[in-house]
Amino acid sequence: MADHVIDAKNRPLGRIATEIAHALQGKDTAKYERNKIGEGRVIVKNVGELKVTGNKFEGKKYYHHTGYMGHLKTATFRQAFEKSPKKVLEHAVLGMLPKNFIRAKRMKRLIIE
C-alpha cells in the first residue's frame, strides 16, 4: 500500500486534479481493476499555492442551491479559493472520478494538507 505525495506549489489545478484522480483509481499500478477502489492514499501539500491559468479567477463560477426558491448561491473561483483551497481541489478531483458507488470511498483516501 503506497502513498503518493504530490506537491501542488506553482502547478495548475487541472493537472494536479487529473494526477490525483488517476492515482486514486489505482491506474498507476499493475493491479488496476476498474471495479476496485485501488491501493494507497494520495497526500497533497501546499494547496494554497496552486496556479490557475487564464481568466479563471474571476470567470469560473461555483453554484450551490439551498433548496429554497430563488436561493441559487454563486461564488467566483477567487472567493471559493480564498475561503477554502482544499474544497476547490476536492471539487475538481470529484468531477474527474467516475460517477459510481465507489467514488466516495476513493475520495476518503485523498488527504489534503
pLDDT tens sequence across 48-93: 999 999 999 999 999 999 999 999 999 999 999 999 999 999 999 9
pTM value > 0.75:
yes
Which cell goes with 58? 474571476
Distances 36 to 3, 26, 31, 106 between C-alpha atoms, Å: 17, 9, 10, 10
> How many residues comprise the chain?
113
Instruction: Determine the pLDDT at residue 2.
Output: 76
Sign of the Cα pseudo-torsion (24, 30, 35, 37, in order): negative
To 10 degrees, what angle do helices 85-96 and 13-25 make? Answer: 60
- The residue assigned the cell 469560473 is 60
On average, the pLDDT of the chain sits at 95
